[in-house]
Chain A
Amino acid sequence: MTRFLAALAALVLAALPAAAAPGVAAASDLKFALDEIARSYARETGRAVRLAYGSSGNFRRQIAEGAPFELFLSADESYVLALARDGRLEDEGVLYAVGRLVLFAPEGSPVDPGRGMPGLAEQARAGRVAKLAIANPSHAPYGRAARQALEHAGAWGALEGRLVLGENVSQAAQFAASGNATAGIFAYSLTFTPAVSGKGRYALVPEAAHAPLRQRMALVKGAGEEARAFYRYLQSPAARGVFSRYGFSPPGP
């Protein structure tokens, strides 16, 4: 019996470092970039983090309700600043990247991303866009930016009734890349995977077409040393290099 208890204790102790890995809430546009950063972080430091991806609005809500995340990487700054005002975060955190939008069309789509948003507007008015996938503008920053870009191109009226809304930006990308939607407007960072880039053509949406996607991160109040270490690592040149390889622009001063 004693031996059994000792074995059990050893098992629990062995499992502890994994259990202590801090929870990180990350916007879904970071999916591929942050996975890679977490891998190199684990390789270099031997430390682990638990990553959860979802829409930033969703995480804002969950953190406000006390969800056990220690670090929040939002796809825009308003959610982080709002949580900071509510006293949920240590401070207002830092900008870590600026996101970009792409217009994506799957194989066989009548939309030619090379002709940009005006081309999309034209096809929409001709009735050739059956479904356009974007993230839900009511709680996903990339959805809000996509809406602004559509309004900027004068295509919102023609396309409003044709939208399919992803629960987060990576579901919007999945809707479009699977060919189920005629086109999609989502995060540039999500095109850096063969699962998306191999399924169609895409082009960047001009930055002037929407409010900048200034992505901000901050530590949640009560965050532990492990979360702090990862937070510092995310601001290192190595992590910034990965962000820029996934199409994020560096944050301004």
Chain B
Amino acid sequence: MDWIALTLSLELAAWTMLALLPVGIVLGRWLAWNRFAWKPVAEGVLALPLVLPPTVLGYYLLVSMGAGSPVGQWFQSTFGRTLVFSFEGLLVASVVFNLPFAIQPMQRAFESIPQDVRDAAACCGLTRWQTLARIELPLAWPGILSGMVMTFAHTLGEFGVVLMVGGSIPGETRTVAIAIYDSVQAFDNAAAGVMSAVLLGLSLVAMAVVYATGARRAGHRG
């Protein structure tokens, strides 16, 4: 059992979740309540990671964050190390890869808040921030929670992108999914078995939370 790899995966998942919380709320809310001509395009772009092979994303990330790219060179000159093969590089990849997992449940949650509730809030003289804090977030929280949990669970399972831009460095880029792959190739079935069981358990808990909050939301409406 590679505890370092498991800890690293949990850290990556937690940071990805934190980074996507504000992004998901802002973009999800905006997409829920605005109509504009190119909205399907915007929604399509944000949903791309659902259908793109991780290798496509991995390739673009390698090209755009690599040593020859402006972003890679800026990171190198600012922090003195490469962005690929680093935890930060994985985090960038993970945030991009998880956009739809965070945004879509949140967008659905904001869409389910009735227009008259928002109008009433505006009538009562609440400012936009007060409306967000007292009306919208309390109503949308099950969707926000399930977006966060989906992001967390999906990050734990990310493999292809990490394989392409990670380099399997212990404590830095060797996530538990990579550690499982390496131990299977090395015929270490015992380690692979334990780590797989841990991931299975964590994913099961995450999905149970997602469906539990979904049922709660449905109960509210009914």
- Where the two chains meet, the residues of A that have a C-beta atom closer than 8 Å to any C-beta of B are 55, 57-58, 61, 106, 130-131, 133, 136, 138-139, 163-167, 175, 178-181
Contact assessment for B186 and A138 in the assembled complex, using a CB-CB cutoff below 8 Å: yes
Docked pose: A58 CA to B67 CA in angstroms? 29
Per CB-CB distance, the 4 closest pairs between chain A and chain B, nearest first, are: A164-B167, A139-B185, A179-B67, A165-B168
Q: Are A55 and B167 in contact (CB under 8 A)?
A: no
- The answer on a CB contact under 8 Å between A166 and B68 is no
Instruction: Report B-chain residues with C-beta under 8 Å of the C-beta of A175.
Output: 85, 167
Interface string of B166-209 (1 = CB under 8 A from A): 01110000000000011111110000000000000000000000
Q: Which of B62, B81, B185, B186 has the most CB of A within 10 A?
A: B185
Instruction: Name the A residues within 8 Å of B62 (CB-CB).
Output: 178, 180
Q: Output the nearest chain A residue to B186 by Cβ-Cβ distance.
A: A138
Interface size on B, residues (CB 8 A): 20
Give the docked Cα–Cα distance between A1 and B82 (Å).
Answer: 62
How many angstroms from the CA of A138 to the CA of B72 in the assembled complex? 29
Question: B72: which A residues are within 8 A, CB to CB?
Answer: 180
Q: Identify 30 residue pairs between A and B in the complex whose beta-carbon atoms are under 8 Å apart, listed by A's number.
A: A57-B185, A57-B186, A106-B67, A130-B81, A130-B82, A131-B82, A131-B167, A136-B182, A136-B185, A138-B182, A139-B185, A139-B186, A163-B169, A164-B85, A164-B168, A164-B169, A165-B167, A165-B168, A167-B163, A167-B181, A175-B167, A178-B62, A178-B66, A179-B66, A179-B67, A179-B68, A180-B66, A180-B67, A180-B84, A180-B85
Closest Cβ of chain A to B84, distance in Å, is 5
